[in-house]
Amino acid sequence: MIDRDLVKRALAEDLDGGEDITSVATVSGTERVIAEFVARRDGVIAGLDMARAVLEEVGLTDISIFVKDGDRVSAGKVLMSVRGDTRAILLAERTALNFLGHLSGIATLTSVWVSAVAGTSCKIRDTRKTTPGMRLLEKYAVRMGGGTNHRMSLSDAALIKDNHIAAAGGVQEAFLRVRTQFPKAEIEIEVDNLDQLAEVLPLKPDLILLDNMNPALCRKAVEMVAGKCKLEASGGITLESAKEFAATGVDYLAIGALTHSAPVLDIGLDLRAE
């Protein structure tokens, strides 16, 4: 996945209308080198196309990629290489690594969560807690790590939460307003106790979000719903408790941390003579 406009903005931000004064001063402009993007830690890769796009944006074309997005790699693995003008490579270095490390970090963290619920039918799903301007890329990285995506935008589906219910004057009123104005939209309703769950079940929503319920309550919710709609657990879920939540029978675990708290995967750029 590539967002070339974002690549242009990132490079423009780095230069801030000027030039790379360090490289201009220390590199003559005639040197050519080979640079290798190397994983410093084990992880799952995402963002190779964005890194390539950064290199291409500064005029580099001799690029080789040795792995695929979604691949699990070990520390020391060469992910891609580029041959060309030294100044151009140094100009692209940080921006390319920022994209590659950030997206690979999301993919890597997602894969850890997916492994945590292995052996169950539960899927790990992201949220809209994404970096402004990077949602499509970050949600792509979640998929590369084995997770699934929730709605991409507010216009994709309805998620009726407590504030919507308060504004509409009740859960049934909120549901009917959405169903009337957007009859084809998928509707998800948030509940935080079993009484609310019993209230919304007759409305036949597509999905019910179990907000901050413990595993015992989630299990009771699964029994109450009995397959009438999908269930998603959210809030208070940790890697240590993920398997317990997944084993209750819910369909999804909503994990905002996949995108808002993923550590960058350490990837470096090593230069060598051509």
Reported pTM:
0.95
Residue 94 designated active-site: yes
Residue among 41, 72, 94, 243 flagged as catalytic: 94
Residue 211 designated active-site: yes
Residue 244 designated active-site: no
Does pLDDT of 274 surpass 80?
Answer: no
Residue among 161, 179, 219, 220 flagged as catalytic: 161
Tokens of 82: 């580029």
Does pLDDT of 271 surpass 90?
Answer: yes
Residue 230 pairs with which residues in a beta bridge? 207
**Domains within the chain, CATH numbers bracketed:** 4-109+262-273 (3.90.1170.20), 115-260 (3.20.20.70)
The contacts of residue 115 (CB under 8 Å, 6+ apart) are none
**pLDDT tens, position by position, 51-103:** 999 999 999 999 999 999 999 999 999 999 999 999 999 999 999 999 999 99
Residue among 85, 211, 232, 251 flagged as catalytic: 211
**What does DSSP assign to residue 27?**
-
Please name which of 131, 96, 139 lies closest in space to residue 268, comparing C-alpha atoms.
96
Tokens of 49: 């196309």
Residue among 41, 129, 151, 219 flagged as catalytic: 129
pLDDT for 1: 87
Q: What is the mean pLDDT of the chain?
A: 96
